[in-house]
Amino acid sequence: MTLQTRIPTFRRSPTVLITGGAGFIGSHLCDSLLQRGNRVICLDNLFTGSVDNIRPLLNHPNFRFIEHDVREPIELGGEIDRIYSLACPASPRHYQKDPIGTMKTCVLGTINLLELARLKGARVLQASTSEVYGDPEVHPQPESYLGNVNPIGPRACYDEGKRAAETLMFDYHRTHGTEIKVARIFNTYGPRMLENDGRVVSNFIVQALRGEPITIYGGGTQTRSFCFVDDLVRGLQLLMESPPSVTGPCNLGNPHEVTIEAIARKVLTYTGSASALRFEALPKDDPKRRKPGIDTAVRLLGWRPRVALNDGLQATIAYFALQIAGETPSLVPTIARRRTDRTARNQMKVVDPSL
């Protein structure tokens, strides 16, 4: 298979539908695709997404926002070339708030998008998750690992919902010839995460900036691998525009593994906070270790994460500091805008290495 190192250029500007496009990852993807000259339709029910994330785009001639729930049938006129399926609450705090609704989003939403893809002849990318591996017994996790998921636990609505969405993608591919891509996304962080997201990075940063105790669930020895959002968005686009034979699943994440306590201490250092560490019981079925095997992404997409954890954390802290101060962060508050040397600027050109 030929190494995929850059995103192909269309003969005309493609029309791209992004469900969950007003969310954390989705809004960054909207930015990037518009910068590349795409026409973007952002569809979101605003359950965890926010119009604030896309507000500067609302007057863009190639951008359209539709408030809609993917659990309901989707009817859109005109051509659609690409569909990114990102609509689903991704943090336990939010997906456990309405577990039945979460499962419906994963299953009914995926069916509705696949039917739209059939009608339009569009290629569709499913944003799956590392949670399909559950509390893994294989480390790091390759795409071939079938996982260790508790199908009746409190996280199952999301874990099993995403597994079901992957099943639907491949069944439509085998049955109808639908062009599909499945990305398994590992822990992602960066600007536009919600303050009340409930995930590690946003929790630690917000608590540190407010001088509150840093809450660590478990002993802090459990590990995660954190990928900055710019790296992920680049990986999603490379996967979407890879040859039709590349269906995935494809892990997208940063293989740099770090303990939860180490992340907390980095946040304390970069914020200058005097917050104490507070340890609480580990939630049920919370994974002890998480690290992606990214050989598939390297081999088929030419993709590797570029943003160092220290740089990404400082950019994310700067974003939350502005939010907490009541200021409006920049539309694209990426690290690239915080660096001035040529080498760093080249490193942060995350959409197309040829730029």
Q: What's 44's domain CATH number?
A: 3.40.50.720
Q: Is residue 353 part of a domain?
A: no
Helices (H) and strands (E) in the chain, counts: 11, 13
**Total number of domains in the chain:** 1
CB–CB of 206/195 below 8 Å? yes
Q: What is the pTM of this model?
A: 0.89
Weakly modelled stretches of the chain, pLDDT under 50: 1-2, 10, 331-355
Question: What pLDDT does residue 328 have?
Answer: 67
Catalytic residue among 84, 133, 158, 172: 158
Q: Is residue 209 part of a domain?
A: yes
* CA separation for the pair 269, 184 (Å, rounded): 31
Q: Is residue 112 part of a domain?
A: yes
Range of the domain at 148: 15-347
Q: Is residue 214 part of a domain?
A: yes
Question: What pLDDT does residue 90 have?
Answer: 83
Query: 189-214: per-residue pLDDT in tens?
Result: 999 999 888 889 999 999 999 999 99
Q: Is residue 2 part of a domain?
A: no
Cβ burial 72-90 (10 Å sphere, 16+ → b, else e) = eebebeeebbbbbbbbbbb
Question: What pLDDT does residue 339 have?
Answer: 36
User: Chain centroid to CA 175: how far?
Assistant: 28
The yes-or-no answer on residue 158 being catalytic is yes
Q: Is residue 186 part of a domain?
A: yes
Q: Is residue 22 part of a domain?
A: yes
AA identity, residue 169: M
